[in-house]
Structure 1
Amino acid sequence: MRVVLTGGGTGGHIYPALAIGREVSERQPGSSLLYIGTSRGLEGRIVPEQGIAFENITITGFRRSLSLENVKTVMRFLKGVRRSKELLRQFKPDVVVGTGGYVCGPVVYAASRLGIPTLIHEQNVVPGLTNKFLSRYVDGVAVSFAESASHFKNCSNVVYAGNPCATRVLHADGRQGYESLGMKPGTPFVLIVGGSGGARALNDAFVRMLPLLKKLPEVHFVFVTGERFYKDAEDAVRRELREGTDRVKVLPYIGNMPDVLAASSLYVGRAGASFLAEVTSLGLPSLLVPSPNVTNNHQEANARSLMNAGAANMILERELSGEALFAGIDSIMGDRTRRDAMSESSRNLGMPESAAIIYDQIVGLQRKR
């Protein structure tokens, strides 16, 4: 199978595309993949590192307010469509898959105009502008949250598939997670992560709650600060926590996140769709602090979806404090029955077979043509 993948700007769009590509390659060995993105987005670095052919187009996103810059964006979109058609004619894909971000707009639109089967995947509860626009032209839509389906009434082929990033944790090994952290297997610990770049508000709240840790004497903490905040956060932990420092491990990042997640007792952090897919696939309870600095406030919608299902609790960033963070953690870690119930609810939401569902949808689109 020959597949074009497109989507970018953030890892939340890139990693689902790569997961779909991986599933295609595993199910049909010898398949050819081409990723079309922008050199300005993270995809320009991440995709070539995965050994996937990469081509570049120039495009920018629309501003939500009236602006002359939007006129330039329309011109770039039209130019991007022309460039995309050239690349598609050269590569001759069997299907084009877009995973969101403005770069996939001209690519998927161009494919639809050329009569190539097209599919988009939406990671969040509230769809982005690009995917809502493309839903008028594509042959299929895959959604991560069941609530999203109502936003795609322009397409008759909408499948609740989950997020394909959930599939990558299928073989996660909690024992290796413990070993990489230097912890005894079975040690209960809370994993605190502010996203790939860290989150200052969450880091500050954790530092402020350190004096309260004596109230949870059996619980350990893995505090992932983000590289840019690591030195300051590590110094702050040492200052504030004169006793019990062996219960708090401060790290700038984690390279084997699936294994560490598999060993965790509770996830505390942002509500990005790809990360939540992994968390629910593993049946991990969560305390979510959605980022307020994202389009459409989509992380709060993601968090509410898990909260309504009983899989997570939520603290809005404007309500975040050391006391609030500790109270949220204590209410889960201090009540084993509640934690087990949340874990079961999380597992019920998990869709580790997501990539396979999307693969089957792709194959179905080809058969219809």
Structure 2
Amino acid sequence: MRIVIACGGSGGHIFPAVALAQGIKTKDKNIDIIFVGSDKALDRRIFEKEGFRYSMLSANKLPYNPSLGTFVFFIKLSLDLLKSLCILIKSRPNVVVGFGGYVAAPVILAACILCIPRVIHEQNVVPGRANAKLFTLADRIAISFEDTKRYLGRYAYKAVFTGNPIRAALLKDDRTGNMKKLGLDADKFTILVIGGSQGAHNLNKAFLQALSQLDANTRSRLQVIHITGTTDYVWASAAYEELALECRVYSFVDRIEEVYSVADLVVTRSGASAIFEIAYFGKPMVLIPYPFAMSHQVENARIFSEKGAAIQIDENDMSPDLIRNSLMDLLKDRKRLNEMAESAKRLSVPDSSYTLAEEILRLGRGRRA
């Protein structure tokens, strides 16, 4: 059997797709998997690191408003559709899987033209623009949140709840070992801040200002792991030196499971991949959704907050005072932290990769290569 997986443009689309591929290989190592991604360096780097075959399309993006860019978009889409047809005719897959984003569109369209079974996976509560337009072409729509069904309208009958696939490497929770590896104090309260994602400068700045407002005694009981992103790394490192607080500051962390495992609280944006990974580790969260992602992150944060796994702070309300007060409230309430951790764990779907893999394999078995 052969499966083509279309994903690209961001880690949020690619990492669940990689997790799915790992789940498929666990079920049957002889299944041939081919990725189709965008021509961004990120896509190429991940595919090569994971050792999968891949082809590349353009990193095209549909403008939100009609313009000359719209005309250019459709020219590129036509060219990518032709290339997708060539990829599928040559590879003759049993099933094609799309993980949203632009890249999924021409590949799913090509699969429809060639009558190849098609699965769409939606990571967020609210479907993205590309996925929403592709639902009519899908045989199955895999969803990460049960609440997504109400956004599917007449396509809800195609929905199957699978959760958001998590990479196998992340399924290792060694808190004690990673505390030692990172040189951290197991008796201190550890806050993980993930500020390296899209539009996270304001988050980085507000969090550091919030720390500066804590009294010295409170700061002495804390240690912070802060992933700042490349742009904010230098000034954030200098700011931590002035605070005289135990910290580990990184521009990027390759082994994210190591910092997840040692955290007592995670402050982050609310992209679907990240929050489901954090939920697997059962960590309470303070979620500050990126406000310009067509409300995807806002709705993701809302669900986690309503389920008791997180505190949601919207960008417009974010301030050092609010973050400081939220931290102090949680530090004083261990019972609430434990309840949030339990709620997060309940939102996790650890076997999501295998559930989605089985759905795809079931669909693919009906088509001979």
Which band: TM-score by shorter chain? over 0.9
Alpha-carbon distance between aligned partners in 1 of 2:120 and 2:324, rounded to the nearest angstrom: 40
Aligned to 1:175: 176
Deviation per CA, 1:1-51, whole angstroms, max 9, x where unpaired?
311111111110111111111111121112211111221363133212221
Unaligned runs of 5+ in 2: none
Deviation per CA, 1:322-356, whole angstroms, max 9, x where unpaired?
22111111211220011011111111111111101
Q: CA deviation at 1:368?
A: 4.7
Aligned to 1:164: 165
Alpha-carbon distance between aligned partners in 2 of 1:155 and 1:115, rounded to the nearest angstrom: 22
Alpha-carbon distance between aligned partners in 2 of 1:325 and 1:276, rounded to the nearest angstrom: 19
Alpha-carbon distance between aligned partners in 1 of 2:63 and 2:172, rounded to the nearest angstrom: 41
Is 2:101 the counterpart of 1:111? no
Structure 2 CA distance for partners of 1:168 and 1:135, relative to 1, 3 Å: farther
1:167–1:353 contact (8 Å) kept in structure 2 = no
Is 2:125 the counterpart of 1:122? no
Aligned to 2:322: 324
Alpha-carbon distance between aligned partners in 2 of 1:89 and 1:334, rounded to the nearest angstrom: 61
Tell me the amino acid that sits aligned with residue 35 of structure 2.
Y
Structure 2 CA distance for partners of 1:59 and 1:320, relative to 1, 3 Å: closer
Structure 2 CA distance for partners of 1:213 and 1:110, relative to 1, 3 Å: farther
Structure 2 CA distance for partners of 1:155 and 1:335, relative to 1, 3 Å: closer
Alpha-carbon distance between aligned partners in 2 of 1:251 and 1:48, rounded to the nearest angstrom: 24
Alpha-carbon distance between aligned partners in 2 of 1:92 and 1:213, rounded to the nearest angstrom: 64
Aligned to 1:348: 346
Aligned to 1:298: 296
Deviation per CA, 1:154-199, whole angstroms, max 9, x where unpaired?
2632111111026553223222321232013454211111134682
2:6–2:103 contact (8 Å) kept in structure 1 = yes
Alpha-carbon distance between aligned partners in 2 of 1:198 and 1:254, rounded to the nearest angstrom: 18
86-95 or 145-154: bigger deviation:
145-154
**Number of residue pairs the alignment of both structures matches:** 364
- Work out which of the residue numbers 204, 222, 225 in structure 2 matches 1:222: 225
Alpha-carbon distance between aligned partners in 1 of 2:62 and 2:199, rounded to the nearest angstrom: 27
Alpha-carbon distance between aligned partners in 2 of 1:338 and 1:60, rounded to the nearest angstrom: 44
Q: CA deviation at 1:215?
A: 5.2
1:283–1:343 contact (8 Å) kept in structure 2 = yes
Structure 2 CA distance for partners of 1:59 and 1:336, relative to 1, 3 Å: closer
Aligned to 1:338: 336
314-323 or 113-122: bigger deviation:
314-323
Aligned to 1:45: 45
Alpha-carbon distance between aligned partners in 1 of 2:196 and 2:276, rounded to the nearest angstrom: 14
Tell me the amino acid that sits aligned with residue 299 of structure 1.
Q
Tell me the amino acid that sits aligned with residue 20 of structure 1.
L
Is 2:360 the counterpart of 1:362? yes
1:62–1:70 contact (8 Å) kept in structure 2 = yes
- Aligned sequence identity (%): 32
Alpha-carbon distance between aligned partners in 1 of 2:222 and 2:163, rounded to the nearest angstrom: 32
Alpha-carbon distance between aligned partners in 2 of 1:190 and 1:12, rounded to the nearest angstrom: 23
Aligned to 1:284: 283
2:199–2:290 contact (8 Å) kept in structure 1 = no
